Amino acid sequence: MTFDDALSAYNSGDPVTALSHARIAASTGSSDAAVMAGYILRKGEAGTINLIEAKSWYLQAANKNNPDALVALGEMAIKNEAGLTQSDAVSYLTRASDMGRTDAMRALSDLYRTGQGTVPNTKKSQNLLKKASQSFDSDATKRLGDSYFEKDAKKALKYYEQAADAGNIEAAYIAGVMYAENFDIRPNSAKSAALLKQAAEGGHAAAQADYGLLVYQGYGAVKSDAEAAEWFKKSANGGDKEGQFLYAFTLAKGEGVTQNFEEAYYWLLKSDKSGNDDYDQDRAELKKRLEANVDPDVLDRARARVN
């Protein structure tokens, strides 16, 4: 059996056969097969999780400097799995990082930042993120933004925008909010709208609510009640509390969408308290008005759906 046989079985949805083939191929020297065997055993995809055996296969591959095995061992060591320690994690991730693995650089950066398995070292932590960022790892670039957020908002924004340019939707969302809410940054409605739209189109539920609100207000975007309602609906379905309230609000008023009190009350109940005082006050007022003016049977149907 070869690694290709194991890979074919795995891609066909048969992890049991894939594990059998991978064990045989790994026993004859294939480091890729050893990594596959380790992965299947670690995830329990063949029916049973076996971290000890997974570690043994990963170690075999790591001895041949297989970067996937080094990263996997580092991940296991961070969690102290199979007798591995966080100091082991530093060792394995350093080797993988030296081989150019940006995911290892990010994980190792976290260890140096928090002092897990090593002496805390902020400079090493940031240098690892910069190295990964220079290798076009947008998650690392976003994390650089995080590292500067509290102490240098302008530098943080620079990294968030770089990460957004590379397709990181969380960074796009944060940068969009920064341009809207003046975190030591000159407000820019056009940039805020563009970045929030990017994140919203990427499926970020909170960004969908915020971008919908910009569209509703005509702030940096063409005003459209119908488009705003669509974004609120997407956000609501994505589980964002503010999006659920905003969608309930538009349904209750019939702005950009057909007025529907049952749906409005349903999404209002789903939204519960968001933690945003302004939203929670408006939510309480809308709830009071619906309960005072809508047929109780309609409200009961909405309650039954929520429950």
Q: Which residue has the tokens 């005082």?
A: 277
Any domain includes 20 = yes
- The dihedral built from the CA positions of residue 25, 29, 33 and 35, taken in this order, carries a sign that is positive
**Domain carrying residue 25:** 1-64
1 belongs to a structural domain: yes
Task: Report CA torsion sign: 208, 203, 231, 279.
Answer: negative
The predicted structure's pLDDT at residue 236 = 97
Separation between Cα atoms, residue 2 and residue 134, nearest integer Å: 36
Amino acid at 145: G
Give the per-residue pLDDT at 284. Answer: 93
**The residue type at 274:** S
Q: Is residue 17 part of a domain?
A: yes
Task: Please give the chain's pLDDT, 307 residues, in tens.
Answer: 899 999 999 999 999 999 999 999 999 999 999 999 999 999 999 999 999 999 999 999 999 999 999 999 999 999 999 999 999 999 999 999 999 999 999 999 999 999 999 999 999 999 999 999 999 999 999 999 999 999 999 999 999 999 999 999 999 999 999 999 866 788 999 999 999 999 999 999 999 999 999 999 999 999 999 999 999 999 999 999 999 999 999 999 999 999 999 999 999 999 987 777 878 899 999 999 999 999 999 999 999 999 8
Contacts of 292 (CB under 8 A, 6+ apart): none
The pTM for the full model equals 0.85
- Report the C-alpha gap between 125 and 190 in whole angstroms: 34
The pLDDT, as a whole number, for residue 182 is 67
Query: What is the H or E stretch that residue 169 is in?
Result: helix 169-181
- The residues near 225 (Cβ < 8 Å, ≥ 6 apart) are 216, 250, 255, 256
3 state SS of 73: helix
Is residue 97 domain-resident? Answer: no
Which tokens sit at 222?
Answer: 């063409």
- Cα dist from 221 to 150, 178, 185, whole Å: 29, 17, 20
The structural domain count of the chain equals: 1
Query: What is the C-alpha separation between 108 and 267, in angstroms, rounded?
Result: 42
CB distance 196 to 214 below 8 Å: yes
Q: Is residue 117 part of a domain?
A: no
